[in-house]
Amino acid sequence: MKINFMKIALKEANKAFEKGEVPVGAIIVCENTIIAKTHNLIETLQDLTAHAEMLAISSANQYLGTKFLKNCELYVNLEPCVMCAGALYLTLQIIIQIF
Ligand SMILES: [Zn+2]
């Protein structure tokens, strides 16, 4: 199952690549349900914080209606940068899967 989630994150990374973005894709899974599926949108949004992980965190927060992402897992195809790692730390209990 984790491999399938990673494949979905890679598909998101490909979407970023096709848009001329740095190819990073991320998904957040909660109890085996994908609650956020995003990719880098830095160039599209002209927003340096629009990293796939940051967008995934915001999307998951909105989906769950909470600021913490308990029992969730993040799948991303690149090691998170310092900004994203900090945000992931703040949301607590996120497991980072790096392949
Ligand atoms: Zn980042």
pLDDT digits (tens, 9 = 90+) for 15-46: 999 999 999 999 999 999 999 999 999 999 99
Q: Which of 21, 53, 73, 79 is catalytic?
A: 53
- Residue 37, class by beta-carbon neighbours within 10 Å (0-12 exposed, 13-18 middle, 19+ buried)? buried
What pTM does this model have?
Answer: 0.90
Largest CA distance in the chain: 34
CA of 51 to the centre of ligand 1 (A): 5
Q: How far apart are CA 10 and CA 76, in angstroms?
A: 8
Active site residue 53: yes
Angle, in degrees to the nearest 10, between helices 52-64 and 82-91: 20
CA of 55 to the centre of ligand 1 (A): 10
What is the pLDDT confidence band of residue 99, given thresholds at 50, 70 and 90? low
The residue-averaged pLDDT of 36-64 equals 97
Residue-level pLDDT at 90 = 86
Q: To the nearest whole percent, how much of the chain has pLDDT over 90?
A: 75
